[in-house]
């Protein structure tokens, strides 16, 4: 499990079981080279569009944010990435 938290909470998140912790003021998690089966935005600060490159085909994006984010077309609560046909 990889967690994204601010500097003050890195030790706390590791203690909760995170294998990796990205320090959000220092590192942009959307630039991570690792891909995931699930991305959970527990604070509603991202979007499916920003997180999609982080998802494996068939991966799931979950967000606690129901309403669209300012400046975005949508902020879906649950989205499954389907493999490209081709």
Looking at 1-86, which runs of residues are DSSP E strands?
A: 2-5, 20-23, 36-41, 55-63, 78-80
pTM: predicted TM-score of the whole model, two decimal places: 0.68
Instruction: Give the domains, in start order, of the chain with CATH numbers.
Output: 2-80 (3.40.50.720)
The total of other beta-carbon atoms located within 10 Å of residue 69's CB is 17
pLDDT digits (tens, 9 = 90+) for 22-44: 877 777 888 888 898 998 888 77
pLDDT digits (tens, 9 = 90+) for 43-80: 777 888 888 898 998 888 888 776 555 555 554 455 66
Query: Three-state SS for 65?
Result: coil
């Amino acid at each position: 499990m990889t967690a994204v938290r601010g500097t003050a909470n890195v030790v706390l998140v590791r203690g909760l079981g995170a294998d990796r912790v990205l320090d959000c003021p220092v590192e942009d998690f959307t630039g991570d080279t690792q891909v995931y089966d699930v991305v959970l935005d527990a604070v509603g600060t991202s979007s499916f569009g920003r997180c999609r490159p982080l998802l494996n085909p068939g991966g799931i994006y979950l967000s606690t944010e129901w309403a669209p984010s300012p400046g975005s077309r949508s902020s879906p609560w649950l989205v499954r990435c389907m493999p490209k046909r081709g």
